[in-house]
Amino acid sequence: MNELSDIASWLTTNSVHHESGVHASLPDPTFISEGKTFVSFSSNNYLALANHPRLVSAAKDGLDRYGVGNCESRLLGGDLDVYRELERRLGALKHKSDAVLFVTGYMTNIGVLSSLVKAGTMARLYGYRAVKRRKYVYYSDEFNHVSIREGIHMSGVPSHKYRHCDMGHLESLLKAAEGSTPIIVSDGVFSMEGTIAPIPDLVAIAEKYGAILYIDDAHATGVLGEHGGGTSEHFNCYSPNIIQMGTLSKAFGAIGGFVAVERDIADVIRLTSSAYGFTCPPPPDQAAALIAALDLLVEEPQRRQRLWDNQRYFVERMRPLGFELLSTETPIVPVLIGDAERCLNFAKALKAEGIHVDSVQFPAAPIGKARLRFMMNAGHTHEQIDHVVEVMGRIGA
């Protein structure tokens, strides 16, 4: 026996479940599980693109053309025209001249944040001589995604956590460490809170302190802004200082992650990040599907409009029920329940009515602040929303 088997038997004895069931189809937002039909109110498939016929057909063409995988690092023999085209398109969406593609969003954050601070060391191998060696320090919002926290930890440089979206606190930390090169990191839309980071304030602070700004737009890309460009488009606030990170597994319905930057910076990241150079990108059929998703973002703006219409419809109907809605700015509308067990019971009661909603508790949310994470979808009908609101009212009472 070792500790792993002790833990495994303890988890089994104490009935600790960490999966929400195995399903027979993906939420679009309706899905089948154990022979029953459910409506998901917690899917990242915001625009219901994951099974759009155009994406499916583009992926099939990609399979026919390239096969099922690329089997090699892009720095060696694995670079394909379809990746370059996808990167060019992602860069354009983010008003940058290039983008760097990674296998997932998670790997993007880990890969870029752990290595960004080592660019100087890498360049020295090629003969680069810096005027001065930089002392980097990370500044990270307390509610940033776990992949950000892990990437920063792996970098090995000092880091500070600032209170959620608290610019005063961020500045006080920056002032205390003058002389170093700060890297400020924030989710664009916070995945468990639904809040939007104050991008114009972050840009101003980054300029004032000579900082690099890294924005994780996983839940904003394709969702926020008139053209789905994310938080910068939402605020009409662009800056050469921003490294724009995004995932391709949410609004775009496939898999992958990227950072959008200017071309010269993209090359630095390609050289520096092991998560780019020492592993493979997403399979080429996914890249082909993602190019179709980018086309649809332009051709079918009604998807984004329906998403926001559904968000407003849901929020208006939930308000009179007396629940605390933690934020109502984005399609992520967390409903505070508080006690973790009560929250799980809510989710179970919703499931009995054919509705799936994530019950989010510690460590994904602070202790005592368990919540139902409602995520609105372009594919929801008003009838489905009326139903979930009616059930919430009934269970709440």
Ligand X SMILES: Cc1ncc(COP(=O)(O)O)c(C=O)c1O
- Using the contact rule CB under 6 A, the part of the chain among 21-29, 201-209, 216-224, 280-288 near ligand X is 216-224
Pick between residue 221 and residue 310 the one whose CB is nearest to ligand X: 221
Q: CA-CA distance, 290 to 85, in Å (whole number)?
A: 10
Minimum Å gap between C-beta 377 and ligand X is 16
Pick between residue 147 and residue 384 the one whose CB is nearest to ligand X: 147
Pick between residue 311 and residue 384 the one whose CB is nearest to ligand X: 311
Pick between residue 104 and residue 359 the one whose CB is nearest to ligand X: 104
* Catalytic sites, residue numbers: 191, 219, 250
- The answer to the question of residue 191 lying near ligand X (CB under 6 A) is yes
- Using the contact rule CB under 6 A, the part of the chain among 100-108, 200-208, 326-334, 378-386 near ligand X is 100-108
With CB under 6 A as the contact rule, the residue among 30, 45, 104, 286 that binds ligand X is: 104
With CB under 6 A as the contact rule, the residue among 28, 193, 216, 233 that binds ligand X is: 216
Please give the residues from 128 up to 157 whose contact with ligand X meets the rule CB under 6 A.
Answer: 145, 147
Pick between residue 104 and residue 384 the one whose CB is nearest to ligand X: 104
- The answer to the question of residue 244 lying near ligand X (CB under 6 A) is no
Residue 253: both structure tokens together:
């319905």
Pick between residue 91 and residue 246 the one whose CB is nearest to ligand X: 246
Q: CA-CA distance, 250 to 50, in Å (whole number)?
A: 9
Q: CA-CA distance, 257 to 250, in Å (whole number)?
A: 10
Q: What is the 3-state secondary structure (H, E, C) of the chain?
A: CCHHHHHHHHHHHCCCCCCCCCCCCCCCCEEEECCEEEEECECCCCCCCCCCHHHHHHHHHHHHHHCCCCCCCCCCCCCCHHHHHHHHHHHHHCCCCEEEEECCHHHHHHHHHHHHHHHHHHHHCCCCCCCCCCCEEEEEECCCCHHHHHHHHHHCCCEEEECCCCHHHHHHHHHHCECEEEEEEEECECCCCCCECCHHHHHHHHHHCCCEEEEECCCCCCCCCCCCCCHHHHHCCCCCCEEEEEECCCCCCCCCEEEEECHHHHHHHHHHCHHHHCCCCCCHHHHHHHHHHHHHHHHCHHHHHHHHHHHHHHHHHHHHHCCEECCCCCCEEEEEEECHHHHHHHHHHHHHCCEECEEECCCCCCCCCEEEEEECCCCCCHHHHHHHHHHHHHHHC
Minimum Å gap between C-beta 113 and ligand X is 11
- Using the contact rule CB under 6 A, the part of the chain among 51-59, 85-93, 125-133, 212-220 near ligand X is 212-220
Q: CA-CA distance, 102 to 86, in Å (whole number)?
A: 12
Minimum Å gap between C-beta 191 and ligand X is 4
Q: How many residues does the chain have?
A: 397
Minimum Å gap between C-beta 196 and ligand X is 12
Closest residue to ligand X, judged by C-beta, is 105
Minimum Å gap between C-beta 246 and ligand X is 9
Residue 193: both structure tokens together:
């809170």
CB 201 within 8 A of CB 166: no
With CB under 6 A as the contact rule, the residue among 93, 199, 218, 378 that binds ligand X is: 218
Pick between residue 145 and residue 234 the one whose CB is nearest to ligand X: 145
- The answer to the question of residue 193 lying near ligand X (CB under 6 A) is no
Pick between residue 70 and residue 147 the one whose CB is nearest to ligand X: 147
- Using the contact rule CB under 6 A, the part of the chain among 99-107, 227-235, 299-307, 370-378 near ligand X is 99-107
Please give the residues from 247 up to 276 whose contact with ligand X meets the rule CB under 6 A.
Answer: 247, 249, 257
Q: How many residues bind ligand X (CB under 6 A)?
A: 14
With CB under 6 A as the contact rule, the residue among 28, 141, 187, 193 that binds ligand X is: 187
In Å, the largest CA–CA distance within the chain is 69
- Using the contact rule CB under 6 A, the part of the chain among 213-221, 266-274, 302-310, 376-384 near ligand X is 213-221
Minimum Å gap between C-beta 245 and ligand X is 8
Interface with ligand X (CB under 6 A): 104-106, 109, 145, 147, 187, 191, 216, 218-219, 247, 249, 257
